[in-house]
Amino acid sequence: VFGPMTPGSQRSVAIVGAGFAGLACARSLQASAELTVTLIDQHPYQLFAPLLYQVATGGLPEDDIAYPVRAAIPGINFVRGEVTKVNPGAGTLRLASGVEIPWDDLVLATGSIGNSFNIPGVDDHALQMKNLQQARAIKHRLLGTYERVHVGEQPKEDLGVVVVGGGPTGVEVAGAVAELQKQMTHEFPSIAGYAHVTLVEAGPRLLPSFSPKSSDRARQALEKLGVEVILDAAVDRMYPTDVHLKNGRVLPAGTTIWAAGVAAETRWTVLGDSDRLNRLVVDECLRLQDNVWVIGDMAHVEAADGRPLPMVASVALQQGKYVAKAIMSASPPEPFRYKDKGQMATVGRRLAVVELPNGFRLHGTLAWLSWLALHVAYLAGGRNRVSVIADWVWNYIAWGSGARRTIIE
């Protein structure tokens, strides 16, 4: 048994997952002298997923969007390891290494993974974009395809890219791939003309959680970048270099990026009731039972209108802070209330759509500048902020003429 550094009979809190939710919770709990906090994650860094698409398309280096947990919360008792089992009855959890960690309070915040909805071929042939390894794989595929087509190892059709899913992630990555393809005309002038990107969405419009006007603006901006947008088209099945739609159309693609949905991992559903996305259903105080809390993407929490809260960073951050306060409080907690901060998405390097809960909407360059400012503000660590700003300024000036950061092995 791995003993948390517990002097005397201090209450111990174990937090599984150092993402948006877990890190916010740990940061708030760290202030308490009465608790011993152990934070566990399979990776030693917090990943800033909203900018993953820029790593996948060569716009930012990996360590710009990954911040070491031990540096984010100095003095935190951080354990690197994959949690494979939780035993609420015994008050313990187990790591893949076999190490056991006891706890008095447990906070589960393991996030979500890509969801292929059991569509044939998706798991085998589409690239997901949920973690750094997957973003790296997309970048290798996109850039490696140019090299292989250039020397005749692959056919020119393989320069086609299909992005599936018209939510913010799909829109952002499709725009960034289109910009990458434009840039590659300087590096591979003889073959770059064969590259194109298609964005496929099953519903009638892009960005379904935004207003129809924002959806239209996003579609127009993507089309201006050269992206073919196909709406009302669900994917039927996938093969290594083809995406078959239910309407019978076949899209050739050397790279298919899956941005059509996420779900929590099935391994946690043994702990309680879960919804169709494997999220654990918790009470209004985010508890599975008295001393077990579930937060972030893996929690099913209903908003006032009865619909589950969205799987977004601001929900995770607010839930992390709320649970820390509830654990530190001597009295029973008030129910969790989500404060909607609005939503935003960006298309390429000039346009964004921003919508606030009070109905205020912003489109275009000003929206894009607020998108930039907010993302920099939410990045962990001063060094990463400076580095991202430097990269963006450079990219903005150089793309179109200069070389991108395209090193791959």
Ligand X SMILES: Cc1cc2nc3c(=O)[nH]c(=O)nc-3n(C[C@H](O)[C@H](O)[C@H](O)COP(=O)(O)OP(=O)(O)OC[C@H]3O[C@@H](n4cnc5c(N)ncnc54)[C@H](O)[C@@H]3O)c2cc1C
Distance CA 212, CA 228 (A): 19
Q: Which residues contact 31 (CB under 8 A, 6 or more apart)?
A: none
Of 45, 47, 27, which Cα lies nearest the Cα of 37?
A: 27
Distance CA 393, CA 232 (A): 37
- Which residue do the tokens 């949920």 mark? 130
Contact (CB, 8 A) for 196 and 142: no
One-character DSSP codes across 214-254: HHHHHHHHHHHTT-EEE-S--EEEEETTEEEETTS-EEE-S
Of 49 and 323, CB closest to ligand X: 49
Helix, strand or coil, per DSSP, at residue 38: strand
- Greatest Cα pair distance in the chain: 71
Of 146 and 210, CB closest to ligand X: 210
Count the Cβ atoms, other than its own, within 10 Å of residue 100: 15
Of 44 and 91, CB closest to ligand X: 44
User: Least distance to ligand X from the beta carbon of 256, Å?
Assistant: 16
Contact (CB, 8 A) for 23 and 378: no
User: Least distance to ligand X from the beta carbon of 298, Å?
Assistant: 6
Length, in residues, of the chain = 409
**CB-based closest residue to ligand X:** 19
Of 30 and 241, CB closest to ligand X: 30
Q: What is the DSSP letter of 205?
A: S
Of 35 and 294, CB closest to ligand X: 294
Report in angstroms the alpha-carbon separations of 148 from 143, 155, 242, 405.
9, 9, 18, 19
Of 96 and 386, CB closest to ligand X: 96
User: Least distance to ligand X from the beta carbon of 287, Å?
Assistant: 16
Of 44 and 252, CB closest to ligand X: 44
User: Least distance to ligand X from the beta carbon of 259, Å?
Assistant: 7
Helix, strand or coil, per DSSP, at residue 73: coil
Q: Which residues contact 151 (CB under 8 A, 6 or more apart)?
A: none
Of 250 and 369, CB closest to ligand X: 369
User: Least distance to ligand X from the beta carbon of 19, Å?
Assistant: 2
User: Least distance to ligand X from the beta carbon of 176, Å?
Assistant: 11
Of 115 and 169, CB closest to ligand X: 169
Of 341 and 361, CB closest to ligand X: 341
Distance CA 329, CA 324 (A): 9
CA angle, 337 as apex, 331 and 340 as ends, to 5°? Answer: 150
Cα dihedral 309, 351, 191, 249 sign: positive
Of 209 and 247, CB closest to ligand X: 209
User: Least distance to ligand X from the beta carbon of 350, Å?
Assistant: 18
Q: What is the DSSP letter of 270?
A: G
User: Least distance to ligand X from the beta carbon of 20, Å?
Assistant: 4
User: Least distance to ligand X from the beta carbon of 106, Å?
Assistant: 13
User: Least distance to ligand X from the beta carbon of 129, Å?
Assistant: 5
Sites of contact with ligand X (CB under 6 A):
16-22, 40-43, 49-50, 52-53, 82-83, 109-111, 129-130, 168-169, 296-297, 311-314, 316
- Which residue do the tokens 């997901």 mark? 128
Distance CA 264, CA 182 (A): 36
User: Least distance to ligand X from the beta carbon of 90, Å?
Assistant: 18
Contact (CB, 8 A) for 143 and 185: no
Cα dihedral 207, 260, 191, 184 sign: positive
